[in-house]
Amino acid sequence: MVKPLYAQLIKKVRVNKYYIYNCDLLNIIGMTNELDSVMQTKQYPFKQFSTFKSLKLEDINNLRNMLFSGIEIDNSFLERILRFLEIRMYEIKKRLFLNYQSYQSMVVFKDCVISFLLEVYYYQKDYRFLNTAIKLMNVRFKFISKQSLYNEKLCFFLKSNL
C-alpha cells in the first residue's frame, strides 16, 4: 500500500520546540493524526517591533498564540509584516541568513511566518494575507518541515473552502 506523500515526508521532519498549532484548526484540515508529536511553544513576553528585521521567531509564535486565544492584535503589527513581505519578498533569504546561524532555524522561521499569514487570513478573512503566504511558499529551501506540511494542507483548505 502506498502512503500519501505527506505521510512519507513527515518521517524526514525535524522536531522543533517552536511549532505551535491551533488544535481546532488542525481538526478542520484533518491533520491530527499526522501531527501527534506537536510541541507547544513557551509564551514569551511580546516585544513591540518597528521593522520586520527585528522580528524573531518567538514574536511570530506569540502573535500566533494571540490569534488562537482571541486576543486583539494591533493592526500596525500586521501591516508592518505584510508591507515588508509584499515589497521585499525575494530578500527574505538574505534577511534570514543575516538573522539566523543555522539553516534549520531559517526554515522554521519562514514556515512559521507563512503559518501566521494563513492563520490571520483564516480568522480575519483578509485576502492580502493569503496572497502573501502563497507567494512566500514559493521561496524554497532544501529542508521540508512539519510546519510546511501544515501550511500546504491549510492553504489547500483555505483556497477550496473560503
**Structure confidence by residue, pLDDT tens digits, 78-112:** 888 898 888 887 777 788 888 888 888 888 888 88
**Residue ranges in the chain whose pLDDT is less than 70:** 1-18, 33-50
Q: Report the pLDDT value the prediction gives residue 21, as an integer from 0 to 100.
A: 81
Q: What does 31-45 look like in DSSP terms, one character per residue?
A: -TTTTTT--PPPPPP
What does the CA dihedral 64, 130, 74, 60 come to, rounded to 10 degrees?
Answer: 30
Picking from 146, 152, 155, 125, the residue whose alpha carbon sits closest to that of residue 20 is 146
CA atoms within 13 A on the CB side of 27: 3
- Three-state SS for 61? helix
What cell numbers appear for 10 in the block?
A: 513527515
Q: What is the pTM of this model?
A: 0.81
Q: Report the pLDDT value the prediction gives residue 127, as an integer from 0 to 100.
A: 92
Q: Report the pLDDT value the prediction gives residue 13, as an integer from 0 to 100.
A: 45
d(CA 11, CA 40): 20
The gap from C-alpha 92 to its chain's centroid, in whole angstroms, comes to: 14
Q: Report the pLDDT value the prediction gives residue 117, as an integer from 0 to 100.
A: 94
Q: Report the pLDDT value the prediction gives residue 37, as an integer from 0 to 100.
A: 47
Q: Report the pLDDT value the prediction gives residue 25, as an integer from 0 to 100.
A: 84
| Alpha-carbon dihedral sign for residues 49, 83, 103, 40 | positive
